[in-house]
Amino acid sequence: MTVATAPLPRRLASLVRIEHTVFALPFAYVGAFLAVGGWPGLADVVWVTVAMVGARTLAMALNRLVDAELDARNPRTSTRELPSGTLTRVQVLALSGGALAVFLVAVSQLDPVVRYLWPIPVAMFAVYPYLKRFTWLCHLWLGACLALAPIGAWLAVSGASPWEAWAIGAAVLLWVAGFDLFYSLFDLEHDRREGLHSWAVRFGEKGVFRGARAFHGGAVVLLAIAGAGLDVGMFYWLGVVATALLLAYEHSIVRPGDLRRLDAAFFTLNGVISVVFFLFVALDVLL
């Protein structure tokens, strides 16, 4: 069965790449677990999960809607659901509305403070797809969107957001921006033709590697700074070390002029990084 002939739910899941929720969801759990120094409770974990799935689905659906025409002119993305006609704009708009409704229901079940802050992430999601038309700093905005995961979850279960939560959020921002710099290399020639802005267009391939190294080094430093302010033990620090080693490995398998393993570096390793760091945090607060 091809995607074009698949049932509608499968086509919608393909549109938003639901499996890539693994990038941000573990960091939401990091925020929730560290906020209370232990198990946040089943209800909070469930509603944080639902909120994250709704938020990410909304963000991806909006991105696909805004970029549909650009995707159609890009050989790499021309087979996506909207350019290929597998899904219609009405169907994706309906998905966006449904995802927003799910997100709002979820935040209504969490700490009252997040019930008033929900427009902030929604506005950030709506703005992001347009930024590459104006600035090569778009990668940092994407990082900021995912940085909301640990900060928002921390708020959602405790009603507070100490500086350590923001430090972890900033680490996520740099981590995401760093691997998104690599991702921009896939579309370097297309972006140049279309007059779009990205780090790769502005600084070239070598500039991407320098920027990604700086961002990922900064992410590790920020995780360490957050740990210094928290009452954490050995497992947290092992998580920081594991994250540093995985990022170093990621940078070792791709280099300027040799991008053959870029897919593995982007998709597999970054999913592993978020899961591994969360598991170490969970061990630290639960044992």
CATH at 69: 1.10.357.140
25-29, 134-138, 181-185, 225-229, range with the lowest pLDDT: 181-185
pTM, whole model, 2 decimals?
0.94
What digits encode the pLDDT tens for the residues 41-90? Answer: 999 999 999 999 999 999 999 999 999 999 999 999 999 999 999 999 99
For 249, other C-beta atoms within 10 Å of its C-beta total: 13
Quote the tokens at residue 270: 């970054």
- Residues near 67 by Cβ (< 8 Å), separated by ≥ 6? 77, 129
> Considering its fold, how many domains does the chain have in total?
1
Range of the domain at 172: 3-286
> Is the model's pLDDT at 23 over the cut of 60?
yes
Inter-helix orientation angle 42-66/89-108, to 10° = 150
- The DSSP annotation for 122-148 comes to HHHHHHHHHHTTT-TTHHHHHHHHHHH
Contact call for residues 147 and 23 (beta carbons, < 8 A) = no
